[in-house]
Structure 1
Amino acid sequence: MAAAPNRALTVAGRALAWLALAVGLFMGAAWIGSSIPRNSGWSEPATGVPIMVETNGVHTAIVMPLVTPQKDWRGDFPASDLGQPDRPYTHVSVSWGERAVFLDTPTWSDLSPLTAIRAAAGGDGLLHVAHYVRPAPSQTARRVYMRPEEYARLVKAIERQVVAPDRRRRYRGYEDWDVFYDAPGRYHLGNTCNQWTADTLAQAGVKTGLWTPFAGGVMKWVQLPDEAPAATH
């Protein structure tokens, strides 16, 4: 009678071993992929258009001035879509991710295993847009200077992800200063939110990693500031 439970334990042990091996291989591949540079000859200019690459440890986003000679983002991301439209916003933070993860997980503790598995298998994309007032560089929001022509390419790359206001749905954000919009693209393990950040920076010509499924793979290419005051919204 003990043979069946023993076989079940053996099968379960082997399944766990294969799962651990798969996770280990994925983590190793992610580390290697994020260490392979794109635009390896790029160097940051001393001055230019200042952007920031920000992270919460899991997710990354690109923070840009709301208005520059290259782009006025107010037409694409109007403050009237926000809960607090009258604040003196100066910057906009843009990121891309999986629809259900964005909309159903206001905090990471709300992320269920089923939602995570479904996202990894493939899900619809969504843009997350947050509006900031004079954000300061910090450990988690690192400033990068871009040449005007590089920033223009960054703008074009992001514009390709923006659905026209009259053809998209808007979804309430987590706070009064952020919002979600419909966006093209399919999320999966090979095309994560952090991969979107790296791909967008790479299209502008900035040096970044080849495959960056995790936030650390993006942030390790961005220099830390000398001083790190907290950013404000």
Structure 2
Amino acid sequence: MLVLAYLLAGAIGGLVPRNGGWRPPDRGVTIWIEDNGIHTGLVLPARAAGIDWHADFPARDLRDPRYAAHRYVAIGWGERGFYLGTPTWWDVRPATVLHAAWGSEDTLLHVEHIARPAAGPQVRAVTLREDEYRRLAAVIRAARRDGAALPGYAAYDAFYPARGRYDALRTCNAWTGDTLAAAGVRIGAWTPFASTVMRWF
């Protein structure tokens, strides 16, 4: 019953809009929201509207610094144990999921340096005004906590200590929704699941 109540509450929360009057501009900064079926993240231009992500996530943090030449960064937020313990979905264990859902103050930003994404069912493009994009960037920067980068899964990504508590209410997808909402984008009031984020785009 508790699980069903959680699923129902998440579904309802994802239908109630924040920033209901927002509409994308005809011109601005294009970003993407990506979804791997469970986890959502933001794909942003490496340089746009006065924001240079290379200053925040430098090439030296990558196993192969040449990947920093890519023009986009994909940024997600999540619980440290889940991120580091599940390089593939085959590595997911019930204990890891339960630990994250119960709650942890130990969180990370996951940053990948990638080529331009191709829009599709799991990658949705959205255009922001420059001031909206700068607000989005400010929220992401505020999520970064001091500390050294950690190696990523491959040569083109890295993890960074982050702020915020992860639990069943504040999931990686809720972070995506809250970050977009802070920029002024129309999004669900509570977006704990990937589907509650992606339905808006």
The code of the aligned residue for 1:176 comes to: A
**Structure 2 length as normaliser, TM-score?**
0.96
Letter in 2 for 1:49: V
Q: What is residue 121 of structure 2 aligned with on the other side?
A: 139
Relative to the length of structure 1, the TM-score reads: 0.83
Give me the whole-angstrom Cα distance separating, in 1, the residues matched to 2:180 and 2:152: 24
In structure 2, stretches of 5+ residues that fail to align are none
Give the conservation status (yes or no) of the 8 Å contact 2:49–2:133.
Answer: no
Give the SS at the match of 2:51: coil
**Is 1:70–1:151's contact at 8 Å kept on the other side of the alignment?**
no
* Residues 1:149 and 2:105 are matched in the alignment: no
1:220 is displaced (CA, Å) by: 0.4
Pick aligned residue for 1:161 from 143, 155, 158: 143
Distance in 2 of aligned mates of 1:46 and 1:69: 16
Tell whether the 8 Å contact from 1:52 to 1:142 is kept in structure 2 after alignment: yes
Partner of 1:217: 196
Q: Quick check: 2:29–2:49 contact (8 Å CA) kept in 1? A: no
Between the two proteins, the alignment pairs up a number of residues equal to 199
| C-alpha distance in 2 between matches for 1:200 and 1:81 | 24
Regions of 4+ moved over 4 Å: none
Report what 1:29 is aligned to.
9
The structure with the largest alpha-carbon Rg is 1
**1:187 alignment partner, SS class:** coil
CA RMSD of aligned residues (A): 1.0
Match of 1:39 among 13, 19, 41: 19
Match 1:102 to one of 65, 83, 101: 83
1:79 equivalenced with 2:84 (yes/no) = no
- The residue that corresponds to 1:64 in the other structure is 44
Identity among equivalent positions (%) equals 46
* Separation (CA, whole Å) in 1 of partners of 2:45 and 2:83: 24
Answer yes or no: is 1:89 the counterpart of 2:70: yes
- Deviations 1:131-189 (Å, cap 9, x if unpaired)? 112222222111100011111111111110123xxx41322111111111111111001
Distance in 2 between the 1:84 and 1:63 partners? 20
Separation in 2 of the partners of 1:138 and 1:174? 24
